[in-house]
Amino acid sequence: MVATMGSSSSFLVLSLFVLSFCLTCNADQITSDARGIMINGERKILISGSVHYPRSTPEMWPDLIQKSKDGGLNTIDTYVFWDLHEPQRRQYDFTGNKDLVRFIKAIQAQGLYAVLRIGPYVCAEWTYGGFPVWLHNQPSIQLRTNNTVYMSEMQTFTTMIVDMMKKEQLFASQGGPIIISQIENEYGNVMRAYHDAGVQYINWCAQMAAALDTGVPWIMCQQDNAPQPMINTCNGYYCDQFTPNNPNSPKMWTENWSGWYKNWGGSDPHRTAEDLAFSVARFYQLGGTFQNYYMYHGGTNFGRTAGGPYITTSYDYDAPLNEYGNKNQPKWGHLRDLHLLLLSMEKALTYGDVKNVDYETLTSATIYSYQGKSSCFFGNSNADRDVTINYGGVNYTIPAWSVSILPDCSNEVYNTAKVNSQYSTFVKKGSEAENEPNSLQWTWRGETIQYITPGRFTASELLDQKTVAEDTSDYLYYMTTVDISNDDPIWGKDLTLSVNTSGHILHAFVNGEHIGYQYALLGQFEFQFRRSVTLQLGKNEITLLSATVGLTNYGPDFDMVNQGIHGPVQIIASNGSADIIKDLSNNNQWAYKAGLNGEDKKIFLGRARYNQWKSDNLPVNRSFVWYKATFDAPPGEDPVVVDLMGLGKGEAWVNGHSLGRYWPSYIARGEGCSPECDYRGPYKAEKCNTNCGNPSQRWYHVPRSFLASTDNRLVLFEEFGGNPSSVTFQTVTVGNACANAREGYTLELSCQGRAISGIKFASFGDPQGTCGKPFATGSQVFEKGTCEAADSLSIIQKLCVGKYSCSIDVSEQILGPAGCTADTKRLAVEAIC
């Protein structure tokens, strides 16, 4: 806008014009066609990664986004978590790590695009799929279907989020970063269960969203019948065979599962860098132009946000950035190399002519020609066979389950199965805090178990936990009394208390005594608790304490899955061969209380008024105990974790911030792990697991922003019984970095924020062995081969030691003659961090 001013009045008019125009002067126009999303009329290659704002802290966001950008992403995707923002009806919260606007602005600050998946049902292994539990208790409501009460609540929340984004000018149509929004989530997977009402509902979702007039496209993932103008998109481990329902919609992949989540009782899933890169390269080879990693950073399920049942507090996901925000190498680097290459081919991929050539089974070439130049993808989807193809008179070998990319159709620049990025291993180190004693000094107090007291909410039936506790706590007391007279047929007999529950954990107390507890085994959430009991003549007090471990978040009618004691609750007297049953389920008056006493008093905040902590006779292996200790923060910048080995199950707080549930006593199933992992062949969540036979989760992230340098307060609520004496704070640092690159490539090494302190091994020639690789059998070291450039080690030492990162062109010019006859020489380096 250049103009010369005439008079002051026309200046005023003009500046008003400029002002109003400039509200949209950075505006981007987002449209789409069959080849892709277009920004201001130009088709784009969009490479996106999911980072969920509440799974980290605002202090971590800039670094996570920076590392995403350095990893070659141009877009960040997040869900919006309704239950966090509206914990009680019409009471909103956007503070701290719930500050959605701050998160979107952090994306904008680094020049990335954003995808806002409002849902508001989000699944996401998040408790109740992101729905606030009060929704469940609205009269006449039915969730995710043609129900006016639900639709009105959904519309109110969705509109509020859209208005909030508009007010902050965050849609691309206003000059902001949000280029796409999503309504609903994977509804196509469950729609059949809702019959015609489901179809009616999804059409309503489409109209409701479109009417919000964001100026950017809306998507619906896993929705084969997505009504116009919604774009349906694919979620899965592989999406190369996906076609959208509208021939004018681009081929978009909204969830590429970069790994998998972990359960209590489960081992650690891993998806290899080779297979993930293969799925991505294959998708872009076959015409995809938008793909999103689910997750790029998984993070942590703080507080009670983990869904489930039984999703762990760690949501690491084996994502390219690990739970603490460090690069998960070689995945991060191997994908970055791919992203940069794909972005360099953007014009050819989005505007080029496309030709597919089929070779033998499951092997094909795709050639993109643009402005007289051609770029090639050679894909081999055979899981067990390398294939050599002849293209342009030259033979190319494509390893099994891989894609080669040749930006000039002659030189292979990238192959998904050949990893040139470094491997990093992480080590946990004890706190080096000065004056920190070897073990923490603990104080403790007991949790008071509740029995029937007048004035409680009562009902003559067993109620669902969602109905009574409305997710204010994991815990709900069910309390009743049983009167026994000496003419009662059960008097004097051997008695058993039997309770059917879908809990997930049940504790039983009779006349003040904890007679036992039981928890559901992973995958078997219905169970029956049975213990022998002794009742006295007269009144007997029975307290059943039920605890949930993440509310169900997925499946048709997932919101109606029973959580809590549904009965029957019976006292069973054995009378010879027959049983006499006293059924308490619906005959008795039940009193309810949600939450623990200590939760009501918020004793994890450490207020002086509840300062009844004792320091003597520290209980060990006793259930329902609160423990407290103070500690100094480990110095430095490295991420901090607390090792809770020795404890049973409960929740942990640092300075009042909940770290999440802990359960180190739950040992991962012994089967399903294997020392090897073949990247070839379709991935599934059970394929490449580690950590069988160890606690599913032993270490818990303590974000640096939760900590002061001294006098931090750790509070634990121990439900089952444990020993806190070995609890320690540790830091997570890079142990060593191993890298390996072929001649003609560049080898890069870094210690992720620390200087490289030494080089343990370096050899240019035909080095043997592996180093730092997960799943590698045998010794994890490089060894000198039959030939080697004599000065490799000293050259690498000179180039790298003392540096934060170093990059070496692998060639004889730099490293000296290797004297090898092998035609594929390589450089292998192990650096000490």
Ligand X SMILES: *[C@@H]1O[C@H](CO)[C@@H](O)[C@H](O)[C@H]1NC(C)=O
Please report how close the Cβ of residue 225 comes to ligand X at its closest, in angstroms.
14
* Contact set for ligand X, span 459-498 (CB under 6 A): 489
Q: Where are the alpha helices (DSSP H) in 636-781?
A: none
| Of positions 86, 186, 268, 274, contacts ligand X by CB under 6 A | 186
DSSP state of 512: T
By CB under 6 A, residue 189 contacts ligand X: yes
CA distance 205 to 121: 12
Please report how close the Cβ of residue 295 comes to ligand X at its closest, in angstroms.
8
Task: Give whichever of 318 and 766 is closer to ligand X, judged by the CB atom.
Answer: 318
CA distance 423 to 678: 17
| Of positions 621, 705, 725, 757, contacts ligand X by CB under 6 A | 621
The residue type of 618 is: L
| Of positions 146, 223, 465, 563, contacts ligand X by CB under 6 A | 146
Please report how close the Cβ of residue 471 comes to ligand X at its closest, in angstroms.
19
* Contact set for ligand X, span 285-304 (CB under 6 A): 294
CA distance 110 to 812: 39
Residue 654 and residue 246 in contact, taking contact as beta carbons nearer than 8 Å: no
- Which of 153, 255, 748, 788 is the catalytic position? 255
* Contact set for ligand X, span 367-396 (CB under 6 A): 390, 395
* Contact set for ligand X, span 303-342 (CB under 6 A): none
By CB under 6 A, residue 142 contacts ligand X: no
CA distances to 54, 534, 535, 579, 827 from 576, rounded to whole Å, are 58, 18, 19, 7, 79
| Of positions 576, 676, 821, 823, contacts ligand X by CB under 6 A | 576
Q: Which stretch binds ligand X (CB under 6 A): 15-23, 96-104, 193-201, 267-275?
A: 193-201
Please report how close the Cβ of residue 390 comes to ligand X at its closest, in angstroms.
6
Query: Please, which residues bridge with residue 641 across strands?
Result: 701, 730
SS3 assignment for 539-597: EEEEEEEEECCCCECCCCCHHHCCCCEEEEEEEEEEECCEEEEEECCCCCCEEEEECCH
- Which of 86, 153, 184, 186 is the catalytic position? 186
By CB under 6 A, residue 580 contacts ligand X: yes
| Of positions 15, 24, 31, 148, contacts ligand X by CB under 6 A | 148
Query: Which positions from 510 to 549 touch ligand X by CB under 6 A, shown as an x/- string?
Result: ------------------x---------------------
By CB under 6 A, residue 586 contacts ligand X: no
CA distances to 325, 754, 759, 807 from 803, rounded to whole Å, are 21, 8, 12, 10
The set of residues, in sequence order, having a beta carbon less than 8 Å from that of 661 and lying 6+ positions away, is: 304, 306, 313, 474, 549, 649, 650, 651
Query: Please, which residues bridge with residue 614 across strands?
Result: 444
By CB under 6 A, residue 235 contacts ligand X: yes
Query: Which positions from 717 to 746 touch ligand X by CB under 6 A, shown as an x/- string?
Result: ----x-------------------------
Query: Please, which residues bridge with residue 569 across strands?
Result: 499
By CB under 6 A, residue 200 contacts ligand X: yes
Task: Give whichever of 64 and 124 is closer to ligand X, judged by the CB atom.
Answer: 124
By CB under 6 A, residue 257 contacts ligand X: yes
Count residues near ligand X (CB under 6 A): 28
The set of residues, in sequence order, having a beta carbon less than 8 Å from that of 70 and lying 6+ positions away, is: 336
CA distance 469 to 476: 7
* Contact set for ligand X, span 267-286 (CB under 6 A): none
Helix (H, G, I), strand (E, B) or coil at 674: coil
Residue 172 and residue 179 in contact, taking contact as beta carbons nearer than 8 Å: yes
The residue type of 2 is: V
SS3 assignment for 438-469: CCCCCEEEECCCCCCCCCCEEECCCCCHHHHH
Q: Which stretch binds ligand X (CB under 6 A): 254-262, 668-676, 678-686, 724-732?
A: 254-262
By CB under 6 A, residue 229 contacts ligand X: no
By CB under 6 A, residue 133 contacts ligand X: no
Q: Which stretch binds ligand X (CB under 6 A): 66-74, 123-131, 331-339, 433-441?
A: 123-131
CA distance 640 to 618: 26
Helix (H, G, I), strand (E, B) or coil at 388: strand
φ and ψ of 14, to 5 deg: -65, -40
Q: Which stretch binds ligand X (CB under 6 A): 71-79, 326-334, 574-582, 627-635?
A: 574-582
Q: Which stretch binds ligand X (CB under 6 A): 25-33, 192-200, 428-436, 699-707?
A: 192-200
Q: Which stretch binds ligand X (CB under 6 A): 121-129, 353-361, 404-412, 441-449?
A: 121-129
Q: Is the peptide bond before 247 cis (omega within 30 degrees of 0)?
A: no
Q: Which stretch binds ligand X (CB under 6 A): 420-428, 466-474, 575-583, 772-780?
A: 575-583
Residue 65 and residue 112 in contact, taking contact as beta carbons nearer than 8 Å: yes
Please report how close the Cβ of residue 554 comes to ligand X at its closest, in angstroms.
4
By CB under 6 A, residue 41 contacts ligand X: no
Task: Give whichever of 145 and 364 is closer to ligand X, judged by the CB atom.
Answer: 145
By CB under 6 A, residue 20 contacts ligand X: no
CA distance 504 to 517: 11
Please report how close the Cβ of residue 272 comes to ligand X at its closest, in angstroms.
18
Catalytic, 255? Answer yes
Please report how close the Cβ of residue 383 comes to ligand X at its closest, in angstroms.
22
What is the maximal distance between C-alpha atoms in the chain? 109
SS3 assignment for 165-226: HHHCCCEHHHCCCEEEEEECCCHHHCHHHHHHHHHHHHHHHHHHHHHCCCCCCEEEECCCCC
By CB under 6 A, residue 255 contacts ligand X: yes
Catalytic, 470? Answer no
Please report how close the Cβ of residue 257 comes to ligand X at its closest, in angstroms.
6
Residues near ligand X (CB under 6 A) are 123-125, 146, 148, 186, 189, 196-197, 200, 235, 255, 257, 261, 294, 390, 395, 489, 500, 528, 554, 568, 575-576, 578, 580, 621, 721
Q: Which residues are catalytic?
A: 186, 255
